[in-house]
Structure 1
Amino acid sequence: MSTLFVSDLHLDPARPEATLAFLGLLAGEARRAEALYILGDLFEAWLGDDDPGEPGAGVCAALTALADSGVPVFLMRGNRDFLFGPRMAERCHATLLPDPCVLSLYGQPTLLMHGDQLCTDDTAYQAFRRQVRDPGWQERFLAQPLEARKAFAAQARAASRAHQQGVSESITDVSPATVEATMCRYGVQRLIHGHTHRPAIHQLLLDGRPATRIVLGDWYEQASVLRVDTDGFALGGL
């Protein structure tokens, strides 16, 4: 059996095919997995645990069914669903993970992250991230009516698209120096993350020792899945 990792599904009513593909994974291959880890951006936007809309309700029900079948489900907040709260995790019968966290994966310590913290050259984004991750900001935001939160999310997505078009790809990718410093800080030789939508397996050296950085892909076209077992890992699609 494998442990499955996904990230950056960006599930949204405008892209029902992605939701159907994920529901297929939950009802099929994931039922035979040892665990499922979702490393952020499961949804295009999450405006609070009080939002009953789709595809959230249907996906939460499918995650609950998977967890109740005996497959542990783990959720990590991303830059689009950073407002996941305890009620969301309870609803899905899932465990909410801190970002970052270290997992012993088949005997090897492995650092799990969404990945946006590694993009330190994008100073404008990092300033925005600090703002919206502030507990006081989140409390004030969640106190607003749902429609006001939806308007803010639409505005934020438009600003993000404009920002992405106005900077080079190297700025929005991870900083190699930050990657190395982060892996050294946590004492690991393997890192798994998403966020950048640049699926790849990178080999590097940390203090003269071989290390691996695995980048999960998105679900806009490829439905990226990382499968890890006792024999190693494979990054592919459905």
Structure 2
Amino acid sequence: MFDAVFVSDIHLSTDVPARTAVFVSFLRRLHTRKLYILGDLFDFWVGGDHARLFHGSGLFDALTQLRADGTEIFILPGNRDFLISNTAPHIFPAEILPETHTINSPYGRTLLLHGDQLLLNDVGYTLFRFCSRQKVLRLLYLSLPLQLRLGIARIMRQQSKTAVKRKRNKNPRILQFSRYALSSLLRQGFRCVVCGHIHRTSKFCFRVGNDTLHIYVLGQWTQNGGDFLTLNSGRFVFHTFKA
């Protein structure tokens, strides 16, 4: 039994049922007091009625059973499924958290977030992120028919893939965490960050003077499985779940 488990970037989609199946298998085998899903549980999320497309996949049944077994489940919005925060609470057998959440860890004050907030070098994305989080735009989008919302989401998903590839080839630094953002977290008293978004499992430290920020980054899941982070007996440890 783990004290806490952290996962991110599962990117569940009805177009890739094998990925959903492997994550459901992971949930059914999991024994933890708390589960934190740090954004992008879904490849995209267009509103509460999106949930019915996953009926029969076993996802919601597995989450419900996990909670019934005593696990507290927390979901943070990601950059692809940020509209989860606009979804009625009864849709998910979990607590939907704000985009950032603070816990205590062996390092001290620890920040949980998806991670896209830290990419301040990507000015274009930062502007898009600000605009897309505006309440009026959210409500306007959610008022559209489901199929139209799905169509728009798929187009934007493809455009995002193209943009990321172009940015990576042109200037990889754009897709790295901003030193300014990390310095700001240190000034706010954080000593650890757990996040995802950049799809590469890693652990590194960021230092300013005598202050150190310990950063754990979760990777992306595929139909073959994925990495997860555990907190147990005062230690963070990475693990891999394989299908």
- One-letter code aligned to 1:23: V
- The answer on whether the counterparts of 1:68 and 1:93 sit within 8 Å (CA) in structure 2 is no
Offset, 1:207? 4.2
Q: SS at 1:50's partner residue?
A: helix
Q: SS at 1:84's partner residue?
A: helix
Question: 2:76, 2:55 → 1: CA distance?
Answer: 18
Question: 1:91, 1:56 → 2: CA distance?
Answer: 15
- The answer on whether the counterparts of 1:111 and 1:183 sit within 8 Å (CA) in structure 2 is no
Q: 1:5 to 1:158 in 2, by over 3 A?
A: same
Question: 2:96, 2:133 → 1: CA distance?
Answer: 16
For structure 2, which runs of at least 5 residues remain unmatched after alignment? none
| Alignment RMSD | 1.9
| Counterpart check, 1:38 vs 2:40 | no
Question: TM-score, with normalisation over the residues of structure 2?
Answer: 0.90
Q: What is the aligned length?
A: 235
- One-letter code aligned to 2:185: T
> Who is 1:65 aligned against?
65
For structure 1, which runs of at least 5 residues remain unmatched after alignment? none
Offset, 1:86? 5.9
> Who is 1:21 aligned against?
22
Identity of aligned residues (%): 31
* Equivalent residue runs for 1:41-60 within 5 Å: 41-51=40-50, 52-54=52-54, 58-60=58-60
Q: 1:207 to 1:100 in 2, by over 3 A?
A: farther
- The answer on whether the counterparts of 2:42 and 2:80 sit within 8 Å (CA) in structure 1 is yes
Question: 1:117, 1:155 → 2: CA distance?
Answer: 23
| Counterpart check, 1:105 vs 2:105 | yes
* Equivalent residue runs for 1:226-237 within 5 Å: 226-237=229-240
Q: SS at 1:201's partner residue?
A: strand
Offset, 1:48? 0.2
Offset, 1:177? 2.4
Q: SS at 1:202's partner residue?
A: strand
Offset, 1:88? 5.0
Structure 1 residue runs of 4 or more that deviate by more than 3 Å after TM superposition = 55-58, 85-89, 105-108
Q: 1:49 to 1:56 in 2, by over 3 A?
A: farther
Offset, 1:151? 1.2
Question: TM-score, with normalisation over the residues of structure 1?
Answer: 0.91
Q: SS at 2:238's partner residue?
A: strand
